[in-house]
Structure 1
Amino acid sequence: MAPIVAGKMSNQQPRLQTLAQLIPPLTFDMHKGDCGRIAALGGCDEYTGAPYFVASTALRLGADLAYIICEKEAGHVIKTYSPDLIVNPYLRSSSTDKLEGSITPEEKIGPLLGKLHAVSVGSGLGNDPALHKTARWTIVAARERGLPLVLDADSLAILGKSPEIIHGYRNAVVTPNAPEFNRLCQALQLDTSGMTTERAAQMLAEKLGGVTVVRKGKADVITNGDRVFVCEESGGLRRCGGQGDILSGAIVTFLAWGERYKSGAWKHANEIKHEDVPMLAAFAACMLTRHASFLAYDDCGRSTQSSNVLEQVDMAFDNKFDQLLQAVKPSKSSSSSLV
């Protein structure tokens, strides 16, 4: 694994020691929210599992609070999945485009954005024009607030139509799979024929003005147009739906931690440049998601579902980072004083 000099990233892979700096150490001095507050915007009446996977991955990695912003009917379903998620059924489809009275979804979402450290948009969003309109508004509003963004799944169609909403915003990560990547390049009139996957992804990142692109595939290619990381961590052989949502949840969590890192919320070596956080967050998330997939497939084989991958997220995290983290280990006397 290529070494990283302080403040400079390799074009191969970052060191685990560098990635670990983004992970908040757990201490008794922390408060609820210090380890990250994230939101997943998505979830229509047809796709309720996708935002659940995003938000649940964040909690399993150690984010403190995970909100889901979804369509009203989807909210009733998602609330039955887990009591740990904060479900906000603020989205409205074309047939019910307003909340009770004259309140709009945007008026409900705006105040919530002020509480967050990072936002994922698109998982399970569907194709309804009203849902896309609110998602587009949220992307613009999050950017105006300087919030890190993950754009995946159905939000990539919005990006294809309106690339200006994140063009030049280097605190954003887009995560297309192979078909989505091709459609996005076509929408942006970017000809990548004959290019390697690495070069094509780099061209897309350049076209978007330095946005970090995660081109998912046999190996995940991560690039901001300047540098390229390739994550070849072994994964499982199953390609069941939902694994991309788990990846989005991991990326949005590391981005949220990156915001806390920038603010000096905990002591660290200060070796990471702030502009490098999206690339490092994306690589760490790809590595963990692929390893969780490997563990799930090793356990379940052909019957592997994304719920099995989700169950392995914490084990994947421990396997990669447990020995590197310098978390405070409270004594029994200090812990017994907490009621």
Structure 2
Amino acid sequence: MSDLRPRVQTLAQLIPPLTYDLHKGDCGRVAAIGGCEEYTGAPYFVASSALRLGNDIAYVVCEKDAATVIKSYSPDLIVNPYLRSVDNQGDRSLDEIEKKINPLLDKLHAVAAGSGLGNDTNIHESVRRAIKAARERSLPIVLDADALALVTKSPDIISGYQNAVLTPNPPEFARLSKALGVSTAGKELPVDEAAQIVAQKLGGVTIVRKGKKDIITNGQRVFVCDEAGGLRRCGGQGDLLTGATLTFLAWGEKYKQGMWKPQSSSEPIKHSLIPMHAAYAACMLARHASFLAYEECGRATTSTNVLEQIDIAFDNKFEEILKAVKPSKT
């Protein structure tokens, strides 16, 4: 296994330096597509972690029965109740939903889908269309949780799109591997090898196989993140990872455009490798935030505690590289 860890100085190239020349949206506009009546916390964690890390604007696109609840969690999120379950489909057709979502995609630098979607077939179809529309716009995409079920059922939804990151946990990865025929008779493949093959079969998408160590691969290269994390496995931490990945992918789009001069003197990141570096940076921060939360709260740790540490984790890892802009004395 190629146990490669990118230098923090290299990852820091993706981070926009804060200056007085920036305008709202220059540090990223992102959206989390997810959230149904039963699962309202997941998209909140995705979008909120993006904001805590430094994205300027975060949207949530959710089922209408989830919208009021998610709005009550935070006034910082822009909540769009566009999705409709089978029970609610009467007041808005799939075509109407698509016409609502597509103009939003035009504003974004990256999009995540899957957190808190549930299993409703109507919602899944809207998300499938949104993924297709995001691909047409060359938007970076993070797929997690219930969106991975869409890929397992129809791999072509994301196959060949190298600006995508998939973040399966072990059971989700096992289902995806089986659907792609990644197995050997009576013999289990090493996880890094299996992840590489899955990425290859999906045409070079980036796979983040979460676990004791996070295996990050595009089928050609492998990064391994073994940053120390907390000992709690409470629900929602994967959503924080999705939000962190979303953040760095959005910054990666701005990096491609040359919107800032990196503060690190490291070798520039190849554009094709931005999803790999974004995913590694996200894994490093999510795991460190989990460690910090567990150090403070122990067994009582929840994902809300981890969210509260995500910006501190960012400072711990990047503070020595990124220096804050000082106000002019003149």
Normalising by the residue count of structure 2, what TM-score does the alignment of the two structures yield?
0.95
2:206 to 212, 232, 235: 212
SS of the residue corresponding to residue 328 of structure 1 reads coil
Report the counterpart of residue 44 of structure 1 in structure 2. Answer: 36
Report the counterpart of residue 275 of structure 2 in structure 1. Answer: 278
The alignment-based identity, stated in percent, is 67
The answer to whether structure 1 residue 329 and structure 2 residue 318 are counterparts is no
Instruction: Give matches, 1:280-319, under 5 Å.
Output: 280-319=277-316
Report the counterpart of residue 259 of structure 2 in structure 1. Answer: 265
Q: Which amino acid in the other structure matches residue 61 of structure 1? A: L
Q: CA separation in 1, counterparts of 2:89 and 2:148?
A: 22
Q: CA separation in 1, counterparts of 2:329 and 2:45?
A: 35
Deviates more, 1:25-34 or 1:161-170: 161-170
Deviates more, 1:82-91 or 1:93-102: 93-102
Instruction: Give matches, 1:75-90, under 5 Å.
Output: 75-90=67-82
The answer to whether structure 1 residue 250 and structure 2 residue 255 are counterparts is no
SS of the residue corresponding to residue 191 of structure 1 reads coil
2:218 to 196, 221, 224: 224
Report the counterpart of residue 7 of structure 1 in structure 2. Answer: none
Aligned residues: 324
User: How many angstroms does 1:100 deviate by?
Assistant: 5.4
Q: Contact 2:182/2:194 (CA < 8 Å) preserved in 1?
A: no
Question: Where do 5+ consecutive residues of structure 1 fail to align?
Answer: 1-9, 334-339
Deviates more, 1:277-286 or 1:97-106: 97-106
Instruction: Give matches, 1:11-30, under 5 Å.
Output: 12-30=4-22
The answer to whether structure 1 residue 91 and structure 2 residue 88 are counterparts is no
Deviations 1:41-78 (A, max 9, x none): 00000000000000000000000000000000100100
Report the counterpart of residue 72 of structure 1 in structure 2. Answer: 64
User: How many angstroms does 1:332 deviate by?
Assistant: 5.1
1:164 to 128, 138, 156: 156
User: How many angstroms does 1:197 deviate by?
Assistant: 1.1
Instruction: Give matches, 1:83-122, under 5 Å.
Output: 83-97=75-89, 99=91, 104-122=96-114
Distance 1:305 1:331, change over 3 A: same
Distance 1:80 1:182, change over 3 A: same
Q: CA separation in 2, counterparts of 1:15 and 1:40?
A: 29
User: How many angstroms does 1:217 deviate by?
Assistant: 0.2
SS of the residue corresponding to residue 39 of structure 1 reads strand
1:199 to 170, 193, 198: 193
SS of the residue corresponding to residue 320 of structure 2 reads coil
Q: CA separation in 1, counterparts of 2:178 and 2:93?
A: 41
Deviations 1:98-121 (A, max 9, x none): 555997211100000000000000
SS of the residue corresponding to residue 80 of structure 1 reads helix
User: How many angstroms does 1:263 deviate by?
Assistant: 0.6
Normalising by the residue count of structure 1, what TM-score does the alignment of the two structures yield?
0.93
Q: Contact 2:199/2:206 (CA < 8 Å) preserved in 1?
A: yes
Q: Which amino acid in the other structure matches residue 223 of structure 1? A: T
Q: Which amino acid in the other structure matches residue 307 of structure 2? A: L
Deviations 1:17-61 (A, max 9, x none): 000000000000000000000000000000000000000000000
Q: Which amino acid in the other structure matches residue 196 of structure 1? A: P
Question: Where do 5+ consecutive residues of structure 2 fail to align?
Answer: none
Q: Contact 2:42/2:239 (CA < 8 Å) preserved in 1?
A: yes
Deviates more, 1:147-156 or 1:187-196: 187-196
Q: Contact 1:41/1:120 (CA < 8 Å) preserved in 2?
A: yes
The answer to whether structure 1 residue 320 and structure 2 residue 314 are counterparts is no
Structure 1 moving runs of 4+ over 3 Å: 98-103
Q: Which amino acid in the other structure matches residue 239 of structure 2? A: D
Q: Contact 2:241/2:282 (CA < 8 Å) preserved in 1?
A: yes
Q: CA separation in 2, counterparts of 1:234 and 1:94?
A: 42
Q: CA separation in 1, counterparts of 2:170 and 2:92?
A: 40
The answer to which structure has the higher helix fraction is 2
Q: Contact 2:183/2:189 (CA < 8 Å) preserved in 1?
A: no
